Structure 1
Amino acid sequence: MIEILLVDDESYVTESLAQTIPWRELQVEQVYQADSAAKALGLLEEQSVDIVVTDIRMPVTDGLRLIEEIAKRWPHIRCILLTGHSDFEYAKRAIQLQAFDYILKPVNDEEFIASLSNAIESLKDEWSETEKYHQLLHNRKADFTVLRSSLMHDLLLGRKLLNKTITEKMEQYEIRLKVDEPAVMILVQMGNHFRAMDHNSAALMEYAVGNIAEEVFGGEFDVWHGKAPHDCLAIIAQMKEAYHQSIRMRKDYEAARRALLEQHAHVLQKHVSNYLKGGISLAITGWFAFPEELPGAYRAGLGAMLLQSDDERSIAFLEDRASAPGSGEAHIKSLECLYKPPTLIHLLESKQWEAARAKIGDVFAQLEQARASREHLYELFLSVTNAFMYMAHKQGHFIAEIDQAGMDFLLDRSIVHSIDKLRTWSLGMLEKLEKELSANDKFTKSYIVKQVQEIVSSELGQDVSVKTIADRVYLHPVYLSKIYKAETGESLGDYIIRMRMERAHYLLKSTNKKIYEITLELGYQNPQYFSKMFKKFYGMTPNEFRD
């Protein structure tokens, strides 16, 4: 509701307006009166006034100075000036001060009501835009969580994107990491206290751990955290330029860098224990080139987690493991076939199922000829699951939907007990993946149409357009429009209009809502434009239809 302040040193003017104008019909809840600029400013400091109507000629402080002060202190207030015929120069000055309108005295009620109605509509438009802006900010932040998670999954699982594309996405999602700069990754395994929680509570705890990590590491590092595909939390960190410059010339640079990571890792565990009442174990990778070497660092970190003890507060540095006897190059070369192009991910993406089967068979044949260690089996398992998860993720599936047993290797490690068991599992998973995704091809377009229709029906009052919907379903607007038209015979733009008009038809027929209320509810900002669209669709204006 609107609150108005009337200001005139001749009190009979404000009294007359207060008594004769149909304020309630204009949705004005409160009318205040003042006979001087000083009293008006005092009222404005105490009350939530939306519109000020003031005379220009007043003693001590005139109306122009009053609205100038209002513009400085309360820029949201609309100001209307009352002026005589001889005060035209004042009126010009009022326009310069961005007064909303001016009315000649003696005041004509109809003219006054028209001016006031315009001011009220202007306020409502502003409030609507502000509310819309805040809603967009809220949606943007909510969408960022999903978009950041999707990007992290793609990169961890080995999807190849141009560095320019990655940079653009990180800028859009407000991720502060830099392409082609060294990074380190910390994988967090949640302890038994968290695993006993239901899915939503566990997800909330993971998010809390990520936020704590940002606070702990944030002084010296830029941090990006998110849920990793293999049931753990991934924290990717890059040293901030200022801190890096302060230590890079030190002789003990690498030792200082490690000591800082270790110190922060212990603080992270301590804070999680104190605030969330649970334990976490950490695996910290070596430094790698981001994002090129991220998938390899992720696989190495997962391998370290597999080899960790059951101590919920352990911290494992991969550089210690890499320097141990029997690790390193020999380990990588034994799986050379796995990483030789075309990669397993590429074969799955292009639906070359037989070639993918042959590649997996070649890798196992190579392992049988060599003396396969437990680390070999872990790395093979992680590489294959990465490829499977990436493919399922790309098609909008969780891997557990395809393999009911799931792939929680951090809890069930029996799959990697032998070459035969791992081969059987890998080929079986590939067969399930092929069956699911091949069958899914024919449903993909209808699924997209279903998604679009759900978005439109649930968000008619928001900024629903072909572009915003295309962004939500990760398709180009032109391609989405073609799919929708081909599947339904109706253009997506026409469908959005039809849904809005059908909703308007219902609201006009079944409710007492005013036209401007329905206009806003349907996401239109201009009642005249809404009326034009309604008439084009139904052959009559909303008022004619309601009558």
Structure 2
Amino acid sequence: MNSIKTIIVDDESRIRRRLERLVQACGEEWEIINLFSDGKEAFDEITSQSISFDLLITDVQMPEMDGLTLISELKKTHSFTSIIISGYDDFTYLQTAMREGAVNYILKPVDKHKFTEQLEEVKVKIFAKRMEQQKWSEIHGKAQQLIYTKQIQLLSEITWNDAMDLSVIDWTKQFPDGIYQLLYVSVDQNISAVENLASTQNWDLKMEEIFKQISQEAAREMNYWMWRSGKLQYWILICFSDTNHVKVNQLVEQYKADIQKLTPFTISIGVANHFQEIKLLPIVKDQLLTLLQYRMIHGGNKVYHQNMLVDLTVNSQPKNVSSIIYKQVHQILSSLDGKGEVETLSAVHQLFKELESISSPTIIEDAVHYLCLQIFNKWMEIDGFGENAEMLSNVLKVTKKAGNFTQLKDSIKHWVVDIKRKVDSRRKIDSDPVLRAKKWINENLGNHITIKEIAEHIYMSPTYFSNYFKAQTGETILDYITKCRLEKAKELLETTDTKVYDISSKLGYQDTKYFSRLFKQWYGQSPSQYREYHFKRD
């Protein structure tokens, strides 16, 4: 067990040394860490050096600061036990000493046997206090672990569930306020080769161990959560009080270096921009999945930052793309602006006519990926990164799934036409996006509503729309939807006899208890109580 750290304060050196010998004679568990000749000297040294101790043995009468004042002042910043040594048998001193928390009040000259008995009592109390603190610490640790486990379960569910209705966005309260940054980590090696290797060694656990060890070293300055996305793929969510880019960048580089050094793999890491509203996590997740698709052109073992996206796309012509294919891709891009679908289809047909004469599947795949990336970049110029982020990742998988060249051609043709129509619709829109969003929300109160769905309807990126809506209206999109749904609930409670659980379901709340709790938070009454006071009878 740890020693009992003791400080002795007395202005008489002879008594000070004798107290030191008496304490040391009581056993190895006692440790004298400091001796002081005055209360002021002791106070200054203890507070300036942040000295931690268990027991203070102090004289009462000292020149600059007496013992009772010393105890009183130190109690403001330290937790400790104290023993008063005094040459005065004065009841007032005793009362004050006990009020300041002194364990005992010992008169000079100090009797060796009585002093030893007092120290034994002190030891029992200090050890008992330590045991209690340890138990509370263990309980607190278990509680924190339960909270963390619940948060990880929520994060895992959210990243697997692409379309979370805003009516159940209550999960955001489980996370602290702060500035967030999401990382997506993926092994570069072919999964089938990895599976063969993983059959003999559990590299998944090894990589988690590496991430945890590095993250825990930085955990003093930031909160973090880590969970799996799939085989040898991971999400890491970081929350900090200030935007310390350097520390996050250092963390990312250390992940990459240690994985390459300690495992047979290399990894690529997608790093999202900062965001403050945790409910944007599903959108940011889609952005990172799309961002890491650039490995197909720029290679692995790299860190891809979201703000690098424009540079990546501009410089994304792979070496296998010939000048003819390059020209035909840009003809398709040109047809997206101000021309009809016929011209776009014709340009796609010309590209695939050229590709049909190529015998290398790799060159065909590179050409299709180049086309998809360039079209996606065109859409970003119009609407910003994040709108339908999965549209790129999905189409890039087409080359793997297509059974033959005709299937590949048809899939790409349909995708390009769909983008063409999105571009045309976006160009025609000139009305207020907030009014259009509100109109759509009020028409769909009983349906599944996500930020992504609203943003798609008004042709904005989800992240930009969320920020724009709040800037224009002064309220979050979640608050607006909740307000509209609950206002509609009030109307139904006032004018119909529809059961509460039916109203809840009709307005998109499948959990009636959650609906009732939310209603009471907003209006101070449960739905049943509200109906009782406000129902309008004919």
TM-score category by the smaller chain? Answer: 0.3 to 0.5
**Length-normalised TM-score, structure 2:** 0.38
Q: TM-score, normalised by structure 1?
A: 0.38
